[in-house]
Structure 1
Amino acid sequence: MVRKIYTASNASSSGPYSHAVDAGDYVFFSGQTAKNASDAPDLTGDIAGQTHQCFTNLLNVMEQAGVTSDDVVKVNVYLTSMKNFTAMNDVYETYFTAPFPARTCVAVLELPLEAEVEIEIIAKRS
């Protein structure tokens, strides 16, 4: 099988992975942090700003893959502190409409590039 991948020109990779892999009906998107933007400002301590940037990065890759937030069926959110859950949620809900995608949100010890939030998605082509 040859992997069909998608890459956004304004998002960087912090390791050996593709931004997204096409699996036919589904597209799997790698996690994005605010620091994966090629022109990322320092948003340390600003969870709302970091969450917006995660979605900006994801939306850029989604555009390359030909899907939108309406096609998202699953979201995984990783936070370095659950104290940031409400601030992340306030931004998160602006990117989706009901019925919302399935979601998991977990706290992790740390994230790449010293990010405080990372978001990954799965989209199903309509």
Structure 2
Amino acid sequence: AKNAKEKQSLLPVTIKQLKNAPSAASGEQNFTVDGHELHQVTIVGLIMTAEEQNTNLQYTIDDGTDDIIVKMVDQESEELMVQRRAEWREGKVVRVVGQLRMFNNSRSIVAYNIQPLADFNEYTFHFIE
């Protein structure tokens, strides 16, 4: 039961922790932080760049410890994506939930969810967690 629960757990991390996370014994797409295998992670940071690509939206997000590429695959209706692009723009602070991935020797996050932060306290609290 522990493995199933661990796979669903959401670990708040800094981008620096993700960049420095060693690969887990279970495979090159799995990483560990503080002895925990990463499945879903959450970061909070500032959108530095926002780019639209054919099949995804790509962001560079900086949380003060480092920056990382976040990719959001376009699986929503066109009008919802237009709304998202308006919400997720440079200079916005957001919470990202996703999975750390390695692609061409570079780490990025494939996002399931990106939410603008309504409250700066949420940003501070993330780093306390």
TM-score, normalised with respect to structure 2: 0.27
Give 1 or 2 for the bigger CA radius of gyration: 2
TM-score, normalised with respect to structure 1: 0.28
Q: Which has the higher contact order (CA 8 A, sep 6+)?
A: 1
The answer to which structure has the higher helix fraction is 1
